[in-house]
Amino acid sequence: MPANLNPQYYEAEEAFRNAKSVMDKIAALEEMLAVIPKHKGTDKIQADIKKRISRLKKEGEKEKGGNRQDDPYIIEKQGSGQVVLIGFPNCGKSSIVKKLSNAKVKIASYPFTTPLPQPGMMPYEDIKIQLIDTPPITDEGIPGPFLNTIRNANMLLLFTDLGSENCVDQLQSLLTFLREKRLLRDEAAGSGIAFTEENCQVIGSKSDLDSKNQRLAITKELIADCPEILPLSIKNNDNLVELREIIFRKLNIIRVYSKSPGKEADMEKPFVLKKGSTVINFAREVHRDIAKNLKKARVWGSARIDGQAVSRNYKLKDKDVVELNC
């Protein structure tokens, strides 16, 4: 049976041949796997791609083990999620990180005041989320192994400066750059080294300088399939609360609180899980022995009745309280 491979597959295959790093090769292979026609004629090709991905991932882990601590572009994840900010020089990334977090970032009107990725912790209700300010992207390219910073993130904030006449070009260049690097796709990648619009957010910074939202409207009109843009102003505090909410939602996480039998729930230190996690997933986070010996569980919050007994596969919701019994 003929494979009948499509143009998208051949584009990804070409990207694989041109890839220099292990992560670039994995990204291209995963795109090949995502776009290849699924039928018996491609079964062997799909199997071969999966083997190559597996082999490269093992190589990548070896590289990380030896170089990760020496790579200033890879920031260790802390808190409930890592959000990387990307944009052109003086687009307002550092100002927003300083406003929302405890990061001691340097802010100036000249380019490249952020030479390396700079982390800060943003409070959100009872958890903290890590924000990473980054060196700017320019028309000449990216600094150092900046792609490692992006790939390590859980979510991206893409900045376009609404105070600049170049705001359309800035956003278009960011989107083109991420797509050419196979970091922004229509479908999620299995390894987590690529993003979709579901875990990205475009920020229209310095919105106070955009008279009557004219540049915002032009940007939406001129960029094909333009993602949703959140106008933001540090000066006027516009949409800062909304940004925190968007970040939490797009990280696809939930907070679950533990409760011991006969005692009050611990509402100060939630367990942070992926959205869609079940009771048994929560039990494993508490302690593997509890998960192994779990007999029953009760849930307050999303359950139809507070304190209702639920199964091990019951899907938890944000702010649920769970009592585990062994």
CATH number where 267 lies: 3.10.20.30
Do both 11 and 42 map to the same domain?
yes
pLDDT higher than 60, residue 124: yes
Same structural domain, 289 and 145 = no
Q: Count of domains in the chain?
A: 3
Q: Let me know whether 204 and 95 are in one domain.
A: yes
* Percent over 90 (pLDDT), the chain: 61
Structure confidence at residue 1 as a pLDDT band (50, 70, 90): low
Same domain membership, residue 180 and residue 110: yes
CB 201 within 8 A of CB 175: no
Tell me if 143 is assigned to some domain.
Answer: yes
Q: What is the pLDDT of residue 253?
A: 97
Q: How confident is the model at residue 22 (pLDDT cuts 50, 70, 90)?
A: confident
Same domain for 162 and 56?
no
Cα(277)–Cα(314) distance, integer angstroms: 8
Whole-angstrom distance, CA of residue 311 vs CA of residue 308: 10
Is residue 225 in some structural domain?
yes
pLDDT one-digit tens code per residue, 76-95: 999 999 999 999 999 999 99
Sign of CA dihedral 41, 43, 48, 53: positive
DSSP alpha helix (H) spans, 251-300: 279-286, 288-293
Summarize pLDDT for 144-166 with one digit per residue, the tens: 678 888 988 999 999 999 999 99
Query: Same domain, yes or no, for 117 and 170?
Result: yes
| Residue that wins the pLDDT comparison between 193 and 33 | 33
Is the pLDDT score of 191 beyond 80?
no
* pLDDT score for 115: 74
Full domain range(s) for residue 313 = 253-325
Question: Of the residues 203, 223, 250, which one is the last residue of a structural domain?
Answer: 250
Give the up-direction half-sphere exposure of residue 205: CA atoms within 13 A in the CB hemisphere.
23
More confident residue, 173 or 28: 173
DSSP string covering 145-161: THHHHHHT-SEEEEEEE
* AA identity, residue 86: I
Question: pTM for this one?
Answer: 0.82
One domain for residues 20 and 156: no
pLDDT of residue 26: 83
CATH number at residue 152: 3.40.50.300
Residues 96 and 204 in one domain: yes
62/118 Cα distance (integer angstroms): 25
One domain for residues 118 and 239: yes
Same domain, 239 and 170: yes
Q: How confident is the model at residue 139 (pLDDT cuts 50, 70, 90)?
A: confident
pLDDT band at 19 (very low <50, low <70, confident <90, very high): confident
Residues 50 and 195 in one domain: no
Per-residue confidence at 189, pLDDT binned at 50, 70, 90?
A: low
Structure confidence at residue 143 (pLDDT): 67
